Amino acid sequence: MTGPRAAGVRKSGGGVFLIPAGFSSQHPRGMPAVHDDVWIDFADAAQTKWALAMPNLAGSKVSIRVTPIGLQSLDGLTIQVEVRSWPEDTPMGRETAPARVARSTDALAGEHFRVEVPMPGFRAWTYEEPTLYLAEVALSRDGKTLDSVSFRFGMREVATVGGRYTPNGPTLWLRGSNLVADWTWPDVIKGKEMQYLVAEARELSMNSFRTHTQPSAISPGTKH
């Protein structure tokens, strides 16, 4: 966004854009532009700021750590977590836990609450068989859902032994490449993204990529 198109962007008293709006001659320092979709989530009174899966393979369970936040303090909240296999959608476990919101102006603040969900008969994630599960987290009060989120995770524990990366035990060597938005080069790989990002990587014995700027054009859920 440059020139007169930036004229309608709201600015602070010092002339700084209040939202990401691109580089502009009207901005004292310029500002990174928004290059992709903007995702807006709506919640009622409280929302799930963070939700993190913490697998416990030895205990055959997963601890879902949830951090609710809100504009005002709230008691009597309930966190409900349901875990299902993905993509088979087989129920694995379901548990609830009490929670609350303590209002704070600190962007990094928030009280953590854990919901322990049993995972009997789970399949551990491995490099050869990257089994995933779907966690659905709902934040409610007085029977009314205030917010809900869902995400996928694998039953794996990551460690380093002797300087080597060991997810779930065996050593995994990471061999890959640094991609700097290569998939946006229309005159190079347009229409050949799969061949460039997957087929060629396999021929070079790669098993990982570091992406820069934005995710690749290939969906993370796509099997290759």
* CA–CA dist 98, 32 (Å, integer): 41
Q: Does 136 share its domain with 181? A: no
Indicate if 126 and 197 belong to the same structural domain: no
Give the pLDDT score at 27: 47
Residues 146 and 180 in one domain: no
67, 110 contact by CB (below 8 A): yes
Q: Verify that 130 and 103 share a domain, yes or no.
A: yes
Round to whole Å and give the CA distance between 132 and 153.
Answer: 5
pLDDT, residue 224, reads 42
pTM beyond cutoff 0.75: no
- Give the pair of three-digit tokens for residue 2: 């440059």
Q: Are residues 91 and 183 in the same domain?
A: no
Q: What is the pLDDT of residue 166?
A: 84
76 and 134 in a common domain: yes
Range of the domain at 84: 46-157
**CATH classification at residue 118:** 2.60.40.10
53 and 140 in one domain? yes
Residue with tokens 């990587």: 201
- Quote the number of domains for the chain: 2
Residue 27 lies inside a defined structural domain of this protein = no
Q: Is residue 105 part of a domain?
A: yes
pLDDT tens digits in sequence order for the chain, 224 residues long:
444 456 667 777 777 667 666 554 544 455 555 656 777 777 888 999 999 999 999 999 999 999 999 888 999 999 999 999 999 999 999 999 999 998 877 767 789 999 999 999 999 998 889 999 999 999 999 999 999 999 999 999 888 888 888 888 888 788 887 776 666 666 667 777 777 777 878 888 888 777 776 666 554 444 44
98 shares its domain with 182: no
Which of 157, 183, 203 is the endpoint of a domain? 157
Is the same domain home to 134 and 184?
A: no
pLDDT at 9: 72
In-domain check, residue 151: yes
For residues 69 and 109, membership in a common domain is answered with: yes
